[in-house]
Structure 1
Protein backbone atom coordinates (compact mmCIF):
# COMPACT_ATOMS: atom_id res chain seq x y z
CA UNK A 1 0.00 0.00 0.00
CA UNK A 2 2.90 2.35 0.65
CA UNK A 3 4.03 2.00 -2.98
CA UNK A 4 0.53 2.98 -4.18
CA UNK A 5 0.50 6.00 -1.88
CA UNK A 6 3.90 7.11 -3.16
CA UNK A 7 2.80 6.77 -6.81
CA UNK A 8 -0.34 8.80 -6.06
CA UNK A 9 1.75 11.44 -4.31
CA UNK A 10 4.14 11.61 -7.28
CA UNK A 11 1.31 12.04 -9.78
CA UNK A 12 -0.31 14.58 -7.43
CA UNK A 13 2.88 16.66 -7.50
CA UNK A 14 2.95 16.46 -11.30
CA UNK A 15 -0.61 17.82 -11.34
CA UNK A 16 0.44 20.69 -9.08
CA UNK A 17 3.39 21.44 -11.37
CA UNK A 18 1.15 21.44 -14.44
CA UNK A 19 -1.38 23.76 -12.82
CA UNK A 20 1.10 26.26 -11.41
CA UNK A 21 3.51 26.06 -14.34
CA UNK A 22 0.73 26.55 -16.87
CA UNK A 23 -0.59 29.54 -14.94
CA UNK A 24 2.84 31.15 -14.68
CA UNK A 25 3.45 30.59 -18.41
CA UNK A 26 0.17 32.33 -19.23
CA UNK A 27 0.88 35.17 -16.81
CA UNK A 28 4.36 35.78 -18.25
CA UNK A 29 2.98 35.76 -21.80
CA UNK A 30 0.62 38.57 -20.87
CA UNK A 31 -2.45 36.75 -22.19
CA UNK A 32 -4.50 35.55 -19.25
CA UNK A 33 -6.40 32.46 -20.33
CA UNK A 34 -6.78 28.89 -19.16
CA UNK A 35 -4.46 26.54 -21.03
CA UNK A 36 -4.50 22.75 -21.28
CA UNK A 37 -1.78 22.35 -18.64
CA UNK A 38 -3.89 24.22 -16.11
CA UNK A 39 -6.98 22.16 -16.90
CA UNK A 40 -5.16 18.83 -16.71
CA UNK A 41 -3.27 19.91 -13.61
CA UNK A 42 -6.49 20.73 -11.79
CA UNK A 43 -8.10 17.42 -12.80
CA UNK A 44 -5.02 15.37 -11.84
CA UNK A 45 -4.64 17.23 -8.55
CA UNK A 46 -8.28 16.72 -7.61
CA UNK A 47 -8.43 13.02 -8.50
CA UNK A 48 -5.11 12.05 -6.96
CA UNK A 49 -5.90 14.13 -3.89
CA UNK A 50 -9.07 12.11 -3.40
CA UNK A 51 -7.02 8.94 -3.82
CA UNK A 52 -4.46 10.14 -1.30
CA UNK A 53 -7.17 10.84 1.27
CA UNK A 54 -8.08 7.14 1.35
CA UNK A 55 -6.85 5.34 4.45
CA UNK A 56 -3.73 3.77 2.91
CA UNK A 57 -1.44 4.17 5.93
CA UNK A 58 -1.39 2.36 9.23
CA UNK A 59 -2.25 4.84 11.94
CA UNK A 60 -0.61 7.92 10.38
CA UNK A 61 -3.65 9.52 8.79
CA UNK A 62 -3.93 13.26 8.13
CA UNK A 63 -6.46 15.25 10.15
CA UNK A 64 -9.98 15.18 8.68
CA UNK A 65 -10.15 18.99 8.85
CA UNK A 66 -7.01 19.21 6.70
CA UNK A 67 -8.49 16.80 4.15
CA UNK A 68 -11.75 18.74 3.95
CA UNK A 69 -9.88 22.04 3.58
CA UNK A 70 -7.73 20.65 0.78
CA UNK A 71 -10.78 19.12 -0.94
CA UNK A 72 -12.68 22.41 -0.85
CA UNK A 73 -9.67 24.29 -2.24
CA UNK A 74 -9.12 21.70 -4.97
CA UNK A 75 -12.80 21.81 -5.95
CA UNK A 76 -12.74 25.62 -6.09
CA UNK A 77 -9.65 25.56 -8.29
CA UNK A 78 -11.14 22.92 -10.59
CA UNK A 79 -14.45 24.77 -10.96
CA UNK A 80 -12.71 28.09 -11.64
CA UNK A 81 -10.47 26.48 -14.27
CA UNK A 82 -13.11 24.26 -15.88
CA UNK A 83 -15.75 26.94 -16.39
CA UNK A 84 -13.24 29.47 -17.70
CA UNK A 85 -11.40 27.19 -20.10
CA UNK A 86 -13.17 28.34 -23.29
CA UNK A 87 -12.87 32.08 -22.71
CA UNK A 88 -10.45 34.01 -24.89
CA UNK A 89 -9.26 35.99 -21.89
CA UNK A 90 -9.88 35.56 -18.19
CA UNK A 91 -10.35 38.44 -15.75
CA UNK A 92 -7.06 39.26 -14.02
CA UNK A 93 -8.56 38.84 -10.53
CA UNK A 94 -10.06 35.47 -11.45
CA UNK A 95 -6.75 34.27 -12.87
CA UNK A 96 -4.76 35.46 -9.85
CA UNK A 97 -7.33 33.80 -7.56
CA UNK A 98 -6.61 30.47 -9.27
CA UNK A 99 -2.88 30.97 -8.70
CA UNK A 100 -3.44 32.11 -5.11
CA UNK A 101 -5.70 29.18 -4.25
CA UNK A 102 -3.17 26.80 -5.78
CA UNK A 103 -0.44 28.23 -3.58
CA UNK A 104 -2.69 28.15 -0.50
CA UNK A 105 -3.54 24.51 -1.20
CA UNK A 106 0.18 23.67 -1.34
CA UNK A 107 0.78 25.63 1.86
CA UNK A 108 -1.96 23.67 3.66
CA UNK A 109 -0.30 20.44 2.55
CA UNK A 110 3.14 21.51 3.76
CA UNK A 111 2.51 23.51 6.92
CA UNK A 112 -0.62 21.90 8.46
CA UNK A 113 0.59 19.04 10.68
Structure 2
Protein backbone atom coordinates (compact mmCIF):
# COMPACT_ATOMS: atom_id res chain seq x y z
CA UNK A 1 0.00 0.00 0.00
CA UNK A 2 2.90 2.33 0.76
CA UNK A 3 4.32 1.80 -2.76
CA UNK A 4 0.98 2.80 -4.31
CA UNK A 5 0.85 5.93 -2.15
CA UNK A 6 4.37 6.90 -3.23
CA UNK A 7 3.53 6.34 -6.92
CA UNK A 8 0.42 8.49 -6.56
CA UNK A 9 2.42 11.21 -4.83
CA UNK A 10 5.00 11.08 -7.63
CA UNK A 11 2.25 11.39 -10.28
CA UNK A 12 0.73 14.27 -8.27
CA UNK A 13 4.07 16.10 -8.40
CA UNK A 14 4.33 15.48 -12.14
CA UNK A 15 0.86 17.00 -12.55
CA UNK A 16 1.99 20.02 -10.55
CA UNK A 17 5.09 20.39 -12.72
CA UNK A 18 3.06 20.14 -15.93
CA UNK A 19 0.50 22.66 -14.73
CA UNK A 20 2.88 25.25 -13.32
CA UNK A 21 5.56 24.75 -15.97
CA UNK A 22 3.09 24.96 -18.84
CA UNK A 23 1.48 28.07 -17.41
CA UNK A 24 4.72 29.89 -16.70
CA UNK A 25 6.15 28.95 -20.10
CA UNK A 26 3.14 30.47 -21.85
CA UNK A 27 3.19 33.53 -19.56
CA UNK A 28 6.90 34.24 -20.16
CA UNK A 29 6.54 33.69 -23.92
CA UNK A 30 3.72 36.24 -23.97
CA UNK A 31 1.33 33.81 -25.70
CA UNK A 32 -1.37 33.44 -23.13
CA UNK A 33 -3.02 30.25 -24.33
CA UNK A 34 -4.06 27.11 -22.55
CA UNK A 35 -1.68 24.38 -23.66
CA UNK A 36 -1.97 20.59 -23.33
CA UNK A 37 0.56 20.49 -20.47
CA UNK A 38 -1.68 22.77 -18.43
CA UNK A 39 -4.78 20.73 -19.19
CA UNK A 40 -3.16 17.37 -18.40
CA UNK A 41 -1.46 18.79 -15.32
CA UNK A 42 -4.77 20.00 -13.91
CA UNK A 43 -6.46 16.66 -14.65
CA UNK A 44 -3.61 14.70 -13.05
CA UNK A 45 -3.68 16.98 -10.00
CA UNK A 46 -7.39 16.43 -9.36
CA UNK A 47 -7.37 12.67 -9.98
CA UNK A 48 -4.23 11.85 -8.02
CA UNK A 49 -5.28 14.21 -5.23
CA UNK A 50 -8.56 12.36 -4.87
CA UNK A 51 -6.76 9.02 -4.94
CA UNK A 52 -4.26 10.15 -2.31
CA UNK A 53 -7.03 11.40 -0.01
CA UNK A 54 -9.35 8.40 -0.37
CA UNK A 55 -7.40 5.75 1.58
CA UNK A 56 -6.64 8.13 4.43
CA UNK A 57 -9.98 7.50 6.12
CA UNK A 58 -8.53 4.84 8.44
CA UNK A 59 -7.44 7.32 11.08
CA UNK A 60 -4.01 7.94 12.51
CA UNK A 61 -1.80 10.82 13.48
CA UNK A 62 -0.36 11.47 10.01
CA UNK A 63 -3.79 11.81 8.41
CA UNK A 64 -4.45 15.33 7.09
CA UNK A 65 -7.52 17.07 8.35
CA UNK A 66 -10.69 16.85 6.28
CA UNK A 67 -10.75 20.66 6.15
CA UNK A 68 -7.30 20.73 4.53
CA UNK A 69 -8.37 18.11 2.00
CA UNK A 70 -11.55 20.06 1.22
CA UNK A 71 -9.60 23.30 0.72
CA UNK A 72 -7.15 21.57 -1.60
CA UNK A 73 -9.99 19.96 -3.55
CA UNK A 74 -11.83 23.25 -4.02
CA UNK A 75 -8.64 24.96 -5.22
CA UNK A 76 -7.80 22.08 -7.57
CA UNK A 77 -11.30 22.13 -9.08
CA UNK A 78 -11.10 25.91 -9.53
CA UNK A 79 -7.79 25.52 -11.35
CA UNK A 80 -9.21 22.75 -13.54
CA UNK A 81 -12.22 24.88 -14.48
CA UNK A 82 -9.98 27.89 -15.21
CA UNK A 83 -7.92 25.70 -17.56
CA UNK A 84 -10.67 23.59 -19.10
CA UNK A 85 -13.21 26.26 -20.04
CA UNK A 86 -10.92 28.36 -22.27
CA UNK A 87 -9.37 25.19 -23.74
CA UNK A 88 -12.80 23.75 -24.55
CA UNK A 89 -13.92 27.02 -26.16
CA UNK A 90 -10.69 27.01 -28.22
CA UNK A 91 -9.80 30.56 -27.24
CA UNK A 92 -6.73 31.88 -29.00
CA UNK A 93 -5.74 34.17 -26.16
CA UNK A 94 -6.62 34.21 -22.49
CA UNK A 95 -6.68 37.30 -20.29
CA UNK A 96 -3.43 38.07 -18.44
CA UNK A 97 -5.29 38.18 -15.11
CA UNK A 98 -6.73 34.73 -15.83
CA UNK A 99 -3.22 33.34 -16.27
CA UNK A 100 -1.97 35.04 -13.12
CA UNK A 101 -4.96 33.49 -11.32
CA UNK A 102 -4.00 30.00 -12.50
CA UNK A 103 -0.39 30.51 -11.39
CA UNK A 104 -1.45 31.96 -8.03
CA UNK A 105 -3.96 29.21 -7.25
CA UNK A 106 -1.43 26.54 -8.24
CA UNK A 107 1.15 28.02 -5.87
CA UNK A 108 -1.46 28.46 -3.11
CA UNK A 109 -2.46 24.80 -3.46
CA UNK A 110 1.20 23.76 -3.10
CA UNK A 111 1.55 26.04 -0.07
CA UNK A 112 -1.51 24.49 1.59
CA UNK A 113 -0.03 21.03 1.02
CA UNK A 114 3.35 22.08 2.38
CA UNK A 115 2.62 24.39 5.29
CA UNK A 116 -0.76 23.25 6.68
CA UNK A 117 -0.06 20.57 9.27
Structure 2 unmatched ranges of 5 or more: none
Instruction: Give the match's secondary structure for 2:55.
Output: coil
Asked whether the equivalents of residues 55 and 61 of structure 1 are also in contact (C-alpha less than 8 Å), the reply is no
| Structure 1 consecutive aligned stretches of length 4 or more whose deviation exceeds 4 Å | none
CA RMSD of aligned residues (A): 1.1
TM-score of the pair, normalised by structure 1: 0.96
TM-score of the pair, normalised by structure 2: 0.93
Structure 1 unmatched ranges of 5 or more: none
Aligned to 2:86: 84
Give the count of matched residue pairs: 113
Within 5 Å, which residues of 2 pair with 1:1-113? 1-56=1-56, 59=60, 60-85=62-87, 86-113=90-117
Per-residue displacement from partner, 1:42-92 (whole Å, max 9, x unpaired)?
Answer: 000000000000124762211000000000000000001000112100011
